[in-house]
Amino acid sequence: MHQASNYNLREEIKEYWSMRAATFDEQPGHEIFSETERVAWHALFERHFGKGDGRKALDLASGTGVISHLMHDLGFAVTGMDWSEAMLEKARAKSKQRGSKIRFLLGDAERTLEDDDSYDVIITRHLVWTLVDPVAAFTEWFRVLKPGGKLLIVDGDFVSPTWATKLNKALAGLFERLGMRKPVAAVPHMQTHHDILARVHFSDGARADEVSKMLRQIGFDPIAVDFNLKKIHSAQKKHISLAKGLERGAQHRYAICAQKPLVD
Ligand SMILES: C[S@@+](CC[C@H](N)C(=O)[O-])C[C@H]1O[C@@H](n2cnc3c(N)ncnc32)[C@H](O)[C@@H]1O
């Protein structure tokens, strides 16, 4: 019974992202909208991984290939993996248009089917918050990393209300009551988003300390949490509303770098 409901949840997540693939890159925070943002992402990745030098990188839940391309810019030999065909189609078209040699594969981040000890680095942005079974996923990533290889998780708690969420809500209500603003229609996919979120592992939000604890239990060591994402967020803010920018800045967003220990 439990397995059947999990299976359905995975299918629903897949369908949800496939439905969002067509317009995914239109949103700041997904595709890169300025050179300043691109430089800030490169700096984050270089800070944890160093230069690519042809080393093998796996971008899990690669979506439309935004992170794969940033890694490719840094000289990594990149494989992107996503379980949504619609997302992969977008990523492959982008790669063809940019002439980047990135291999995009259809696959489940919880069961990649890649060889043991086969990647120098693994990167994943905005996947962990939506994982059904994070322990299975992290165990799998540990397996496919080479000894000494590094994992970089870029994610956040997109659930817990922040001071900015509360302020925006209060102001929106006030402006509506004063007739200064019309009630905003609900975004059609938001209900599906909430339905899925209620059933994933981190339904209360993926906090860095909880994710780090799981990674440690699986054997990653050392683990470093990096909250220095200000330059990325400032660059993104220029392309979103003030309210959204405040919310983004106030959210618990982070990068976690975790290493698979070298064998003696
Ligand atoms: C928020 S998008 C992030 C895309 C990309 N990482 C980025 O940051 O631009 C989430 C992506 O995760 C993919 N996804 C979710 N669960 C997955 C899983 N278990 N295996 C592979 N892909 C998954 C979805 O298909 C979707 O493309």
pLDDT tens per residue, range 198-242: 999 999 999 999 999 999 999 999 999 999 999 999 999 888 888
Tell me the average pLDDT of the chain.
Answer: 92
61 lines ligand 1 (CB under 6 A): yes
Q: Whose CA is nearest to atom 8 of ligand 1?
A: 125
User: Is 97 a member of any domain?
Assistant: yes
Mutation pick for ligand 1 pocket among 9, 12, 17 (CB with most ligand atoms within 8 Å):
17
- Which 3 state secondary structure label does DSSP give 111? strand
69 lines ligand 1 (CB under 6 A): no
Confidence band (pLDDT; 50, 70, 90) for 5? low
How many domains, in total, are found in the chain?
1
46-67: pLDDT as tens digits: 999 999 999 999 999 999 999 9
pTM score, two decimals? Answer: 0.91
Mutation pick for ligand 1 pocket among 62, 82, 102 (CB with most ligand atoms within 8 Å):
82
Decide: 224 and 175 in contact? Cβ < 8 Å: no
Query: CB-based contacts of 211: which residues, under 8 Å, 6+ apart?
Result: 128, 134, 153, 155, 256
**Could you say which DSSP state residue 97 is in?**
H
What confidence score (pLDDT) does residue 3 get?
46
The CA distance from 78 to 91, in Å, is: 12
**Report for 6-20, 105-119, 149-163: range of highest mean pLDDT:** 105-119
Minimum-distance ligand 1 atom for the alpha carbon of 87 = 27
Ligand 1 geometric centre to CA of 184 (Å): 28
User: Is 42 a member of any domain?
Assistant: yes
Show the domain range for 207. Answer: 2-259
What's the maximum distance between 2 C-alpha atoms anywhere in the chain? Answer: 69
Domain of 152, CATH number, reads: 3.40.50.150
User: Is 29 a member of any domain?
Assistant: yes
∠ CA(17), CA(22), CA(24), 5° rounding? 65
As beta bridge partners, residue 155 has 254
- Which 3 state secondary structure label does DSSP give 198? coil
What confidence score (pLDDT) does residue 239 get?
83
More confident residue, 157 or 3: 157
152 lines ligand 1 (CB under 6 A): no
| Cα torsion through 21, 239, 252, 204, rounded to 10 | -40
User: Is 264 a member of any domain?
Assistant: no
Q: Whose CA is nearest to atom 12 of ligand 1?
A: 61
User: Checking DSSP bridges between strand 103-106 and strand 145-157, what pairing results, if any?
Assistant: unpaired
User: Is 152 a member of any domain?
Assistant: yes
Query: What percentage of the chain has pLDDT greater than the value 70?
Result: 94
Please name which of 33, 94, 101, 85 lies closest in space to residue 65, comparing C-alpha atoms.
94
What confidence score (pLDDT) does residue 1 get?
41
Please name which of 200, 252, 249 lies closest in space to residue 225, comparing C-alpha atoms.
252
User: Is 40 a member of any domain?
Assistant: yes
More confident residue, 71 or 180: 71
What confidence score (pLDDT) does residue 27 get?
86
